[in-house]
């Protein structure tokens, strides 16, 4: 029921701000409160008076003001009031703010006229009541701040709504007494909560603050933050309630979306089979602990407690030291099968093994702010060589609470000049900033804004000043404690009648908590996605019964070859896995809600763009994801690709089996050898001895310490030398080989050849020694016999050489005498018998052969002496060969032979010059002597290097040698193979003797009637 006019008048009279009600269209005053009567300064009632006549403004000015209502354009008027002194008047400027009151048809029925005094424009300024000034300022600001402003009495009955409230709701103050008005405008889901909170504030006198949905005049609902503070009288009694409702719908919906997303991500992490916690600060205080980790630590790991205090076993087992190191260095620590001993007897086991990581959490400056601890229980994998899934979780931060609203207006309000200089702040500014008006006036507010936000604020403020448009921005303000908080700043321009800006009125609403909450949610989302993307496992979420892909990390994309598309069915993306039973397993988890974990199973994935498949060994888990009603809405797939580990293990097992087989083969082979085998450690102690040792010595491994007994089995004369040689080999890490006498089981000492070689590791240190003892008793005695025989042969050869030398020397003079007598006989005697001439010729030939034989024997002796007494020298083969050929130039000329040389491959040689001259002379002479009679003789001399030799080659095209008949006799003394020319059979013997004495050899290739090739191998 609408109130009667007298009630309306009483309401008007109670308002400290001057208000008039004007009839439309006559603009006649139909209602006026006491404040308006006092403001006009007339003693007669104002009712029935025409407003244009009362205030003196022109009709055109009134019509312009009526057309611009709602645009913030006041109608300025001037009123004079007696000053109190005779003839004195106080003239001041008032702004008339006109608000239409319409009928349901939309027709204007009344004009609500608010009088706003402009003290700055008084012709003579006089002080007014401080209470009236405060009330006036409040109403002045209430109409321009970007909030819905309302006032109730002490019992909660509404007395005032600002224009924004009425514009938003479509109601007026007159509707305030309608029963259930506020409840009807509040969302049904919020009504009980709003009513309970409002009643609590009315009863307790505490500040009122709540978020709720408020219905607009078009029937839609938007979220508002409603705040109210009580106004008390001098006795402390509540006089009224001042309240505002701030539109937070956009922030609320954004926060709800972020919270829903955060809830979904947290649900994923809470349902994965892993142990996860987040620690902050150098004391590693728990900020988040999932259910599994709580169970592990018997519920003692509570948020807010340091890890060392909540779980002392972490200190005892060295985990806190590891976490300290990660926090200090910023380097993650990877856990691999780390043992953990639980003190919880009810856990069912005392020792656990974990894989996981201690991951530093970095801020934007890459400074460590905490540690993410996550681990996967791999106890079963350690026992059965299997791996389990690992999980990750994010950091949880606690949200701050809003500070209690300040003063009657929870916001900080301000007024500035048209050019932007601030000339008024309400008390909330001073309470928050700790500043004074002197240091905040004009542009002084710039000193209180965060330096990072000041340029953007200045830019937007200057743009609003230039364009005259609404100013709005978010920035941080410094409080008197030095803390920065986020505020939403808004300002509207108050304009003159001609459109010029008269003032700017603005407010700053504290949005720090909401902004930080939003930033935290976004940061947590970012960190969680970063953690999941960097996890060393393939992670994906599949929603609905068709298992459509809704999330995947980079590891999963790489694992499936990039075949990922959000919203697609996994059976369409990976059709090959359906035949392998993985889709059926997903169906089972989705239907039953029971998780499944499979270890070391084989999966074949098709290679993108090919028809080939690649096999992987995986350990995976399918975990059901639940909605708020605990219904299964999807499945979390957590996959570890363990192909490399499984194949490495299989290869290792196969290799170990092969090594065992080879070890057995080596053992059988070693024990079947006719030698004694040993293996020694790096210091030389025997760690293995073959059965041959015990069979030879007659000892037993069960009753005999081989390291202490073997020196007793050596011959006493050999033991010092063996100890010295053995110790030197061990010291120098080199192989050894020596002989000694070892006592056999029958007491007889037998000669043994001992050999040992070291085996080195990658660093070059001896790993072990492999040794053999071989019985060489017969060989040793035979060698001693051969050495004695060789010594005897050397003495015999020396005697023979002396005999030959003496014989050749003693015979040379008689032969020379015989030759002289024979020559004199031929010269002086005559031989009438025809056969005498033949006899003379035969005697002369025999004499020549005897002389040549004696010469050759003498040369043999010279060769032996040259080897013993002459040094080798570097010989140029080209020049040396020219000297040899020059010595037989007559033979070359007589035979018509040609000689060619080619020593480019090996131009020099280190040899005894006379010996090499004898070799070359004999080979070339034989080539001339045994030239083919039917063709011109040709001799080719050359040389070339071959391994450790220089090979000297002499080739001819003579009559050749039958190698099949005479090859084995080729280098025998006095052996000849052709009778058509004279010879002694010493030349090739001499060549071979010279070459062999220098460590070389002679090889011959020959074909009868084609020629021969002699290859002389002379050592370098």
Task: Write the pLDDT tens digit of every residue in 345-355.
Answer: 665 667 888 88
d(CA 631, CA 588): 14
What single-letter DSSP state applies at residue 469? P
d(CA 460, CA 469): 10
pLDDT score at 394: 39
Nearby residues of 378 by Cβ (< 8 Å), 6 or more positions away: 337, 353, 354, 355, 386, 387, 388
C-beta of residue 689 within 8 angstroms of C-beta of residue 700: no
C-beta of residue 686 within 8 angstroms of C-beta of residue 706: yes
d(CA 203, CA 207): 11
The answer on pLDDT for 156 being more than 80 is: yes
C-beta of residue 201 within 8 angstroms of C-beta of residue 210: no
Sign for the CA dihedral angle at 189, 191, 192, 194 comes to: positive
The answer on pLDDT for 392 being more than 90 is: no
d(CA 873, CA 878): 15
The DSSP annotation for 791-830 comes to HHHHHHHHHHHHHHHHHHHHHHHHHHHHHHHHHHHHHH--
| Residue 22: closest CA among 102, 106, 109 | 109
d(CA 349, CA 343): 9
C-beta of residue 79 within 8 angstroms of C-beta of residue 41: yes
Could you give the 3-state DSSP secondary structure of residue 149? strand
pLDDT digits (tens, 9 = 90+) for 507-562: 888 888 888 777 777 777 676 666 666 667 888 999 999 999 998 888 888 889 88
pLDDT digits (tens, 9 = 90+) for 901-942: 999 999 999 998 888 988 998 899 888 888 888 899 999 999
Q: Which residue has the tokens 């309630």?
A: 241
Burial of 688 (0-12, 13-18, 19+ CB in 10 A): middle
pLDDT digits (tens, 9 = 90+) for 69-91: 655 457 777 666 655 544 444 55
Full strand arrangement of the beta sheet holding 89-102 = 29-32, 19-23, 108-118, 89-102, 75-82
pLDDT score at 346: 63
* Cα 333 → chain centroid: 12
C-beta of residue 44 within 8 angstroms of C-beta of residue 28: no
| Residue 518: closest CA among 247, 254, 224 | 254
Query: 409-418: string of b/e by CB count within 10 Å (b at 16+)?
Result: bbbbbbbbeb
Q: Write out the E strands in 248-325.
A: 275-280, 285-289
Q: Answer with the residue of higher pLDDT: 983 or 922.
A: 922
Confidence of residue 450 (pLDDT cuts 50, 70, 90): very high
d(CA 995, CA 1001): 6
* Cα 93 → chain centroid: 74
Indicate the average pLDDT of the chain. Answer: 80
The answer on pLDDT for 832 being more than 80 is: no
pLDDT digits (tens, 9 = 90+) for 666-724: 677 677 677 898 999 999 999 888 888 988 998 888 777 888 888 999 999 999 999 99
pLDDT score at 982: 58
- Paired with 279 in beta bridges are 286, 371
Full strand arrangement of the beta sheet holding 1001-1007 = 898-902, 938-946, 949-956, 1011-1019, 1001-1007
Q: How many CB atoms lie within 10 A of CB 936?
A: 11
C-beta of residue 308 within 8 angstroms of C-beta of residue 284: yes
pLDDT score at 653: 83
Q: Which residue has the tokens 């001693």?
A: 784
C-beta of residue 397 within 8 angstroms of C-beta of residue 287: yes
Burial of 389 (0-12, 13-18, 19+ CB in 10 A): buried
Span 290-297, average pLDDT: 79
| Residue 696: closest CA among 666, 675, 671 | 675
Q: How many residues does the chain have?
A: 1020
């Amino acid at each position: 029921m609408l109130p009667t006019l007298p009630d309306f008048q009483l309401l008007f009279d109670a308002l400290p701000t001057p208000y008039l009600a004007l009839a439309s269209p006559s603009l006649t005053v139909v209602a006026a409160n006491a404040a308006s009567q006092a403001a006009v300064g007339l003693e007669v009632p104002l009712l029935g008076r025409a407003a244009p006549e009362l205030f003196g403004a022109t009709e055109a000015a009134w019509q312009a003001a009526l057309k611009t209502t709602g645009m913030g354009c006041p109608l300025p008027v001037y009123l004079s009031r007696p000053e109190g002194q005779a003839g004195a008047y106080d003239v001041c400027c008032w702004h008339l703010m006109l608000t239409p009151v319409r009928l349901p048809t939309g027709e204007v029925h009344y004009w609500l006229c608010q009088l706003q005094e402009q003290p700055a424009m008084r012709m003579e300024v006089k002080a007014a009541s401080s209470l009236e000034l405060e009330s006036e300022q409040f109403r002045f600001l209430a109409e321009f701040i970007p909030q819905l402003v309302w006032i109730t009495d002490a019992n909660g009955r509404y007395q005032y709504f600002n224009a924004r409230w009425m514009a938003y709701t479509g109601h007026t103050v007159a509707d305030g007494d309608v029963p259930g008005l506020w409840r009807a405008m509040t969302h049904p889901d919020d009504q009980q909560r709003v009513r309970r909170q409002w009643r609590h504030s009315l009863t307790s006198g505490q500040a009122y603050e709540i978020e709720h949905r408020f219905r607009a005049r078009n029937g839609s609902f938007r979220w508002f933050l409603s705040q109210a503070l009580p106004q008390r009288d001098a006795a402390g009694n509540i006089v009224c309630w001042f309240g505002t409702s701030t539109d937070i719908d956009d922030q609320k919906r954004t926060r709800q979306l972020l919270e829903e997303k955060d809830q979904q991500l947290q649900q994923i992490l809470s349902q994965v089979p892993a142990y996860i916690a987040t620690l902050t600060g150098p004391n590693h205080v728990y900020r988040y602990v999932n259910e599994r980790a709580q169970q592990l630590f018997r519920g003692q790991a509570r948020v807010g407690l340091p890890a060392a205090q909540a779980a002392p076993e972490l200190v005892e087992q060295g985990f806190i030291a590891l976490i300290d190191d990660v926090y200090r260095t910023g380097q993650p620590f990877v856990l691999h099968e780390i043992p953990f001993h639980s003190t919880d007897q009810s856990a069912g086991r005392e020792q656990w093994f974990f894989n996981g990581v201690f991951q530093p959490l970095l801020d934007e400056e890459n400074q460590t702010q905490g540690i993410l601890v996550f681990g996967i229980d791999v106890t079963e994998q350690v026992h059965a060589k299997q791996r389990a899934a690992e999980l990750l979780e994010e950091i949880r931060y606690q949200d701050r609470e809003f500070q209690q609203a300040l003063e009657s207006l929870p916001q900080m309000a301000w007024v500035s000049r048209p050019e932007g200089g601030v000339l008024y702040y309400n008390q909330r500014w001073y309470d928050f900033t700790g500043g004074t008006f002197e240091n905040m006036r004009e542009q002084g507010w710039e000193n209180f804004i965060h330096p990072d936000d000041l340029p953007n604020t200045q830019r937007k403020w200057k743009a609003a000043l230039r364009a005259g448009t609404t100013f709005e921005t978010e920035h941080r303000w410094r409080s008197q404690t030095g803390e920065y908080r986020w505020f939403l700043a808004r300002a509207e321009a108050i304009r003159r009648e001609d459109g010029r800006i008269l003032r700017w009125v603005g407010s700053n609403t504290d949005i720090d908590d909401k902004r930080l909450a939003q930033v935290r949610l976004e940061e947590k989302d970012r960190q969680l996605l970063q953690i999941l993307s960097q996890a060393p496992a393939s992670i994906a979420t599949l929603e609905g019964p068709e298992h459509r892909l809704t999330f995947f990390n980079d590891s999963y994309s790489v694992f499936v070859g990039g075949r990922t598309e959000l919203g697609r069915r996994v059976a369409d993306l990976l059709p090959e896995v359906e035949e392998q039973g993985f889709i059926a397993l997903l169906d089972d988890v989705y239907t039953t809600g029971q998780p499944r974990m499979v270890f070391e199973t084989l999966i074949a994935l098709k290679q993108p763009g090919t028809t080939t498949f690649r096999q992987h060994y995986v350990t995976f888990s399918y975990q059901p994801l639940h909605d708020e009603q605990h219904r299964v809405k999807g499945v979390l797939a957590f996959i570890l690709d363990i192909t490399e580990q499984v194949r490495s293990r299989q290869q290792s097992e196969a290799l170990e089996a092969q090594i065992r087989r080879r070890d057995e083969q080596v053992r059988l082979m070693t024990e079947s050898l006719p030698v004694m085998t040993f293996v020694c450690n790096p210091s030389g102690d025997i760690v293995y001895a073959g059965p041959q040792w015990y069979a030879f010595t007659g000892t037993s491994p069960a009753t005999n310490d081989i390291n202490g007994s073997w020196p007793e089995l050596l011959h006493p004369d050999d033991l010092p030398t063996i100890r010295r040689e053995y110790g030197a080999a061990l010291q120098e890490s080199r192989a050894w080989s020596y002989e000694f006498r070892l006592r056999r089981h029958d007491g007889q000492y037998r000669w043994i050849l001992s050999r040992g070689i070291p085996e080195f590791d990658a660093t070059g240190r001896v790993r072990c020694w492999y040794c053999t003892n071989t019985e060489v008793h017969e060989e040793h005695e035979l060698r001693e016999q051969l050495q004695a025989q060789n010594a005897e042969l050397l003495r015999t050869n020396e005697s023979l050489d002396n005999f030959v030398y003496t014989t050749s020397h003693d015979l040379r003079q008689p032969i020379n005498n015989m030759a002289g007598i024979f020559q004199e006989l031929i010269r002086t005697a005559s031989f009438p018998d025809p056969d005498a001439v033949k006899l003379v010729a035969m005697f002369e030939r025999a004499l020549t052969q005897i002389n040549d034989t004696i010469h050759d024997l003498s040369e043999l002796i010279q060769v032996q002496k040259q080897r013993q007494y002459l040094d080798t020298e570097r010989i140029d083969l080209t020049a040396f060969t020219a000297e040899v050929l020059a010595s037989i130039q007559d033979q070359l000329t007589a035979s018509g032979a040609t000689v060619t040389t080619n020593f480019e491959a090996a131009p020099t040689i280190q040899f005894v010059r006379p010996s090499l001259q004898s070799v070359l002379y004999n080979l070339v002479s034989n080539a001339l002597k045994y030239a083919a009679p039917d063709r011109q003789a040709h001799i080719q001399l050359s040389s070339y290097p071959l391994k450790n030799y220089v090979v000297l080659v002499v080739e001819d095209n003579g009559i050749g040698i039958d190698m099949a008949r005479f090859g084995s006799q080729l280098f025998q003394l006095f052996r000849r193979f052709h009778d058509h020319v004279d010879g002694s059979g010493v030349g090739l013997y001499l060549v071979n003797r010279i070459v062999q004495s220098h460590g070389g050899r002679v090889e011959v290739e020959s074909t009868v009637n084609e020629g021969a090739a002699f290859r002389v191998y002379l050592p370098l």
